Amino acid sequence: MDLRTRWALVRFGITFLSLFAGWLLFTWSLDSGSLLAGGVSSLAVSLVTYPIFVEETEAGRRAHLPRPHMFLLFLAALVFSMYVASFRVLWRILRGDINPRVVHFRTRLKTDIARVVLTSSITLTPGTITLDLDDDHLVVHWLDAQTTHSRYAGMLIKGAYEKLLRGVWL
């Protein structure tokens, strides 16, 4: 069994486990029938989709095994800052006083999934939308721009997220 086949098997396993965990959470039952249906459908779906779910070149161990406690911390920080930013945007809408600018900055995260999670959380936070992501270069539309200086804007927008995500993935 060469390296490529073994890596394909591991990717298949990761896809199957993620799907099956989702099934267990969604059905919340341990009936043999339910488990069988979930297992068979997870097998079928992961047979088709494992090359997309885990890229062949994404081979770092830390890219697939996030630290769960750090991830929960990150989710809590995300929800909290979403509410704070929502109230800020609400105030902007009421006042009708906006200063939108497009800012460019770079991220120091290495793995693809960490970068995608970073861009998604920037978009989830009200007041900022990621327009483009090219390797480590982000283009962000900022509703209430305080600066267009690249490093300072990056610090304000992604600062806490990036610090937490470096603990989760890399």
Partner 1 sequence: MNVGAAVFLGLGVLFSIMGNVGVLVFPDPYTRLQASSTCTTTSVLSFFIGCMFIVGWGPMLGRLLVITLFFFVTSPISAHIIARFAWKSGVVPWRKSFAMKRHAERRDD
What residues make contact with partner 1 under the rule CB under 8 A? Answer: 22, 25-26, 28-29, 79, 82-83, 86, 89-90, 93-94, 96, 98-102, 119-121, 123-132, 139, 141, 143
**Closer Cβ to partner 1, 111 or 123, answer by number:** 123
Q: Mind giving me the DSSP string for 90-111?
A: HHHHHHT--B-EEEEEE----S
**Closer Cβ to partner 1, 9 or 102, answer by number:** 102
Structure tokens at 34: 């339910």
> Considering the complex, what minimum distance in angstroms separates the CB of residue 128 from partner 1?
8
**Closer Cβ to partner 1, 43 or 82, answer by number:** 82
> Considering the complex, what minimum distance in angstroms separates the CB of residue 47 from partner 1?
22
Nearest-angstrom CA–CA distance, 83 and 120: 16
Structure tokens at 117: 């999670």
**Closer Cβ to partner 1, 7 or 91, answer by number:** 91
> Considering the complex, what minimum distance in angstroms separates the CB of residue 108 from partner 1?
21
Q: Rounded to 5 degrees, what are φ and ψ at 154?
A: -60, -40
Nearest-angstrom CA–CA distance, 1 and 93: 61
